[in-house]
């Protein structure tokens, strides 16, 4: 299903041109217009899913394998030293386009820290409580 108001539906469907590095019946993989690093790509399903929680399970299972292939191709073609997968869900998490996508971000030794945080602290009691709370909601 497509969403007529969604820019990523239009890009994934080829209605809006994009720098496409891979396409099959389920996905289009494009280069991000505002790259975090050289070669930053976005994996877009051709059907519209707002986020990971809305994603079809079969599409989800194919997406991770495709991400591995794209990352491996980046290492070969761009000589990057690694790559990050980033997948934002919800405004609070930084999602700005509400069509599920996976960022594949090449990383270069000595390059800027792109995906990192200062580790916080938590007691083992707190961790146990949280695990219980989240587990009960599954």
**Residues within the interface to ligand 5GP (CB under 6 A):** 7, 11, 18, 30, 32-34, 42, 88, 94-97
The stretch near Zn ion (CB under 5 A) out of 8-16, 24-32, 51-59, 74-82 is 8-16
Three-state SS for the chain is: CCCCCCHHHHHHCCCCCCCEEEECCCEEEEECCCCCCCCCEEEEECCCCCCHHHCCHHHHHHHHHHHHHHHHHHHHHHCCCEEEEECCCCHHHCCCCCCCCEEEEEECCCCCCCCCCCCCCCCHHHHHHHHHHHHHCC
- Of residues 28, 40, 46, 99, which one binds Zn ion by CB under 5 A? 99
Catalytic residue check, 101: yes
| Residue 134 Cβ vs ligand 5GP, minimum distance, rounded to whole Å | 23
Choices 67-75, 78-86, 97-105, 118-126; region in contact with Zn ion by CB under 5 A: 97-105
Binder of Zn ion out of 28, 40, 46, 48 (CB under 5 A): 48
């Amino acid at each position: 299903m497509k969403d007529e108001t969604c820019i990523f539906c239009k890009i994934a469907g080829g209605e809006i041109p994009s720098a496409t590095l891979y396409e099959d019946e389920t996905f289009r993989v494009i280069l991000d217009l505002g790259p975090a690093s050289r070669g930053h790509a976005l994996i877009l399903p051709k059907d519209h899913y707002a986020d990971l929680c809305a994603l079809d399970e079969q599409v989800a299972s194919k997406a991770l394998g495709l991400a591995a292939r794209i990352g491996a191709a980046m290492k070969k073609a761009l000589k990057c030293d690694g790559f990050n997968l980033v997948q934002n869900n919800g405004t609070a998490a930084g999602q700005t386009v509400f069509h599920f996508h996976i960022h594949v971000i090449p990383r270069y030794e000595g390059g800027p820290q792109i995906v990192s945080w200062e580790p916080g602290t938590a007691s083992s009691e707190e961790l146990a409580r949280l695990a219980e709370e989240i587990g009960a909601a599954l």
